[in-house]
Amino acid sequence: MTKELSHKSTLRELKTDRGVLRYHEAGEGPPLLLLHGSGPGVTGWRNFRGNLPVLAEHFRCLVLEFPGFGVSDPVEGGHPMALAQDAAVRFLDGLGLDRVRVIGNSMGGIVATQLAVAHPERVERLVTIGGVGRSLFGPAPAEGINLLMEFTEDPTREKLVAWLHSMVYDPALVTEELVEERWEQATEPATLASARRMYGRAAFAAQAAAAAKADATPLWAQLHKVQAPTLVTWGRDDRVSPVDMAVLPMRTLPRGELHVFPDCGHWVMIEQKEAFESAVLSFLNRPVEGGR
């Protein structure tokens, strides 16, 4: 029988040299790091609270709250994505974890993949949920990202609802309760300021220009460096990161495989909860060469 878990009972704190990192911990066994996505009112708890009871039956689940999203201490300076990657490394170091399995949703999947590229010895298995790839056929940015930028520039409830609807296949998932909890955190001044460093239109354009000027190698062109067995999961009806983005990861990840879920938007772990958990547990628990 799956055990009920509460926000209060699982919340922990880790003091680091760049402030307190907060996280949720549940279960015993091999460590499983869960990294949340971005967007108005997001937290690690809200992304993964529904999956935590099932995953905690098999793993020591650690749901990290990234700085800049209203839970962990904020960190001044830098892009929220870079701060998230730094936080993930500080978190592993602070808990004395040399090697972990990782699940990353959207932005969290990008951070997890960056971790697997930069520190391959630390990532044993990798699961991503949308976001890691490059759009081949559709416009970029996609509909959901444009709606996210519109809300970030001018936050209204109507724009929040429009963005939330772009995240899901089934509009019934966008409840008044969901809107209220997202609205409260998304409009908190420090959290909104952090979001604007990432999704304000000027900031978004500046990031693209800076990357082009620096001639930096994009993440999608570095996927061949990921050594860990990787499960790429995607919603077939994703309007934030369209499913054609999965083609490049599917083809270039040396030990990658792809699972596409029907009738599903960007929140695979929520909208196809049971199917997602089944696929992920099968992958994470599957024996591979070397006994890892």
pLDDT in the model for residue 180: 97
The DSSP annotation for 154-202 comes to S--HHHHHHHHHHH-S-GGG--HHHHHHHHHHHTSHHHHHHHHHHHSHH
Q: Is 24 a catalytic residue?
A: no
Q: Out of 24, 36, 259, 266, which one is annotated catalytic?
A: 266
Digitized pLDDT (tens) for each residue of the chain, 292 residues in all: 466 789 999 999 999 999 999 999 999 999 999 999 999 999 999 999 999 999 999 999 999 999 999 999 999 878 888 899 999 999 999 999 999 999 999 999 999 999 999 999 999 999 999 989 999 998 889 999 999 999 999 999 999 999 999 999 999 999 999 999 999 999 999 999 999 999 998 888 877 777 667 678 899 999 999 999 999 999 999 999 999 999 999 999 999 999 999 999 999 999 999 999 999 999 999 987 654 4
Q: What are phi and psi of 34, to 5 degrees?
A: -115, 125
The pLDDT of residue 3: 67
Domains of the chain: 7-139+217-291 (3.40.50.1820)
What is the structure's pLDDT at 291?
A: 47
Q: pTM of the predicted model, to two decimals?
A: 0.95
- The one-letter amino acid code at 193 reads A
Q: Which helix (H) or strand (E) holds 85?
A: helix 80-95
